[in-house]
Amino acid sequence: MTEKSHKSGYAAIIGKPNAGKSTLMNRILGSKISITTHKAQTTRHQVVGIYSDENTQIVFLDTPGVITPKYELQRAMMNTVNRARADADVLLFIFDPTDKHPTKEVIELLKSINKPTILVVNKMDRVKNELGEQKADEIEDKLSISSTHFVSALNGEGITELLEDIRSYLPSGPPFYPKEDLSEHPVRFFVSELIREQVYLQFQQEIPYSCTVDIVSYDADIDIDRISANIIVNRKSQKGMLIGKGGKAIKQLGIEARKAIEDFIGKKVFLDLHVKVREKWREDENWVRNLGY
């Protein structure tokens, strides 16, 4: 294979919270590397996912949903969107046609970036074709769209054609990463994300948005990985809620998180969880940086 025939580049996935960005990337990669829950703003980091076939490598930048930031953590989240603006060869504007709220913030952001933009109308398994097409027309009237695809990230419909189209926008060149790599993040990152996913799934209201996870130690042995992690909360009252009566809630969280981690790394895990209070950590620039945002 000549270098000329190989294409490599970056594709940033941009859209509103809950449009299906992470589900799309997990579908393309055939592996769960972005956590997905029914709650908005689950993705906080720019998760790098790498798709490779024989003559292509697409590095996907899965960004947090576009929001107007209210505190330091959200400002850090929006910085990742800006990094995607700088690095991407092509932008994927992922759009949920079932969403009743306007996409003004995303459209304004995309207007300011002079790069090819593919409109990806997602969740077509849930809507009639006419509605999807009508919504796409409305966006095409407001933005310079290079091409439009109707897909279902959930069941894989339209994904092959989308990948072929993305490839057409990439420059020729060798792969940036080994072909077997799915991401540039270390295993510790995914472990912390899987624990955080369980917080989203098991707790209500403000708890998930006030928490982050810090991996204190990760000792990999031949047949078992021993992991110690702190769940950081914003205030004291949240600690009690996370631990639960007689430690019941944290125990259940640990059981489910351990199962998810074992599935991900393919071996046994011993997981030791603790809850720590860091008053107003989300508003504190140093804490936000220290906790990896």
The pLDDT of residue 60 is: 85
Q: Is 65 annotated as a binding residue?
A: yes
Crossing angle between the packed helical segments 248-265 and 187-202, to the nearest 10 degrees: 140
Residue type, 6: H
Q: Is 17 annotated as a binding residue?
A: yes
Q: Is 151 annotated as a binding residue?
A: no
DSSP 103: -
Q: Is 16 annotated as a binding residue?
A: yes
Q: Worst-scoring range by mean pLDDT, 4-18, 218-232, 278-292?
A: 278-292
Q: Worst-scoring range by mean pLDDT, 10-14, 190-194, 200-204, 216-220?
A: 200-204
The pLDDT of residue 182 is: 66
Q: Is 116 annotated as a binding residue?
A: no
Which of 157, 144, 93 is CA-nearest to residue 120? 93
- Give the domain ranges of the chain: 3-168, 187-290
Q: Is 66 annotated as a binding residue?
A: yes
Q: Evaluate if pTM is beyond 0.85.
A: no
Q: Is 129 annotated as a binding residue?
A: no
Q: Is 175 annotated as a binding residue?
A: no
The pLDDT of residue 244 is: 87
Q: Is 251 annotated as a binding residue?
A: no
Q: Is 236 annotated as a binding residue?
A: no
> 216 near 230, Cβ under 8 Å?
yes
Question: Is residue 203 classed as helix, strand or coil in its secondary structure?
Answer: coil
Q: Is 158 annotated as a binding residue?
A: no
| Level-2 CATH architecture, domain 187-290 | 2-Layer Sandwich (3.30)
Q: Is 240 annotated as a binding residue?
A: no
Is the pLDDT assigned to residue 151 strictly greater than 90? yes
Q: Is 19 annotated as a binding residue?
A: yes
Residue type, 147: S
Instruction: Characterize the bridge pairing of strands 147-150 and 56-62.
Output: unpaired
Instruction: Characterize the bridge pairing of strands 212-220 and 147-150.
Output: unpaired
Distances (CA, A) of 111 to 20, 105, 174, 229: 21, 10, 31, 41
* Residue 265 CB neighbour total at 10 angstroms: 16
Q: Which CATH number fits domain 3-168: 3.30.70.1350, 2.60.40.420, 3.40.50.300, 3.30.450.20?
A: 3.40.50.300
